[in-house]
Amino acid sequence: MQHAGQRDFFPLQTSNKAAASTKARDIYIFLAANGWEATSARHKKTKTVISSQNSEKQCTVGEHLLAVCRQALRLTLTCLLAMLLHGR
């Protein structure tokens, strides 16, 4: 979703296209009226796939892939920053 020069993703928690479309529309309307901070607080719930006690919690495939991509991006940026700082 993109608004006011910023872009982010929101989990829609459904594989039904009509329901996903309705939810995405509702999130965008809320975003346009309330801004990014309120929208993220309301529509983004942080989920942990596996806790320290090794009990599994549910998340969608999309949420899992997004978490994997974010972690890969963090590692890539860390490596690039280290290379820039050390002149390599």
Other C-beta atoms closer than 10 Å to the C-beta of 14 total 13
pLDDT of residue 1: 86
d(CA 29, CA 12): 15
Over 70: is that where the pLDDT of 6 sits? yes
Strand 6-7 relative to strand 2-3, pairing:
antiparallel
Q: Give residue-wise pLDDT tens across range 65-79.
A: 888 898 999 888 888
Annotated domain spans of the chain: 1-45, 58-88
Q: Give residue-wise pLDDT tens across range 14-35.
A: 888 999 999 999 999 999 999 9
Of the two residues 47 and 42, the one the predictor is more confident about is: 42
DSSP 8-state assignment for residue 44: -
- Give the mean model confidence (pLDDT) for residues 40-58: 62
Over 70: is that where the pLDDT of 50 sits? no
What does residue 7 show for φ and ψ, rounded to 5 degrees?
-130, 140
